Amino acid sequence: MTERKTVDCRGMDCPQPVLKTKEALVGSSSPLLIIVDSEASCSNVSRFAESQGAQVSVAQKGDDFHLIITPGHGAPATEEPAISCAPTSGKNLVVYISSEGMGRGDEDLGSILMAAFLDTLSQFKGQISHAIFVNAGAKLAVAGSAVLEQIRQLEQLGAQVLVCGTCLNHFGIQDKLAVGSVSNMYAIIETLSKAGRIIQP
């Protein structure tokens, strides 16, 4: 009998269940059991797993949802689905980044300031619900970016990183996304409309 790995995501804020599922799926050919405790997480995990070519079956057990994910049942989609994570009370700060550098003037200085800005965001643990990258800001989330570790740190702190898919396609870097998930304008506008505060460098 094939051993089934269990990933217990109960009590985790969105998008952590999806990130944990993504991590568990890497290189795995065995079925996974993902346990979540909200319908939103169940939907997000299901859509993500299916986008990766996996088969998903869901069973509700009390207040929990048990998802059996079997990898390798289809070709991965060209884009990951947008994950819906509504900002929650006490965690409703959205960071909106639309350029590679911070401020105008010297480009090298702008890059230094952007790196410092992203690094300092770690001090706002528990407050940031989303980080949105659009236009040239999308370049910060691709392979080779000097600030990938800072953006990954945001994810580890519980922020959902959304990267504009249209922007990635425009710059021809859609295959180089190294952190976050490809998003669309509807998800971006929905996130901004629900934000308690929006900060833009």
Q: 5-70 with 93-199: one CATH topology?
A: no
Q: Note the CATH architecture for domain 93-199.
A: 3-Layer(aba) Sandwich (3.40)
Average pLDDT over residues 52-57: 89
Task: Break the chain into its structural domains and give their ranges.
Answer: 5-70, 93-199
CATH number for the segment(s) 5-70: 3.30.110.40
What DSSP character marks residue 7? E
Quick: pLDDT tens for 74-104. Answer: 666 556 666 666 655 456 789 999 999 998 8
Give the residue among 68, 5, 67 at the shortest CA–CA distance from 38. 67
What is the reported pLDDT for 84? 66
pLDDT band at 166 (very low <50, low <70, confident <90, very high): very high
- Write a three-state SS string for 140-183: HHECCCCCHHHHHHHHHCCCEEEEEHHHHHHCCCHHHECCCEEE
Residues sharing a CB contact under 8 Å with residue 7, sequence separation 6 or more, in sequence order: 20, 21, 24, 32, 33, 34, 35
Report d(CA 101, CA 169) in Å as an integer: 20
Please report, as a single letter, which amino acid is at residue 181. Answer: S
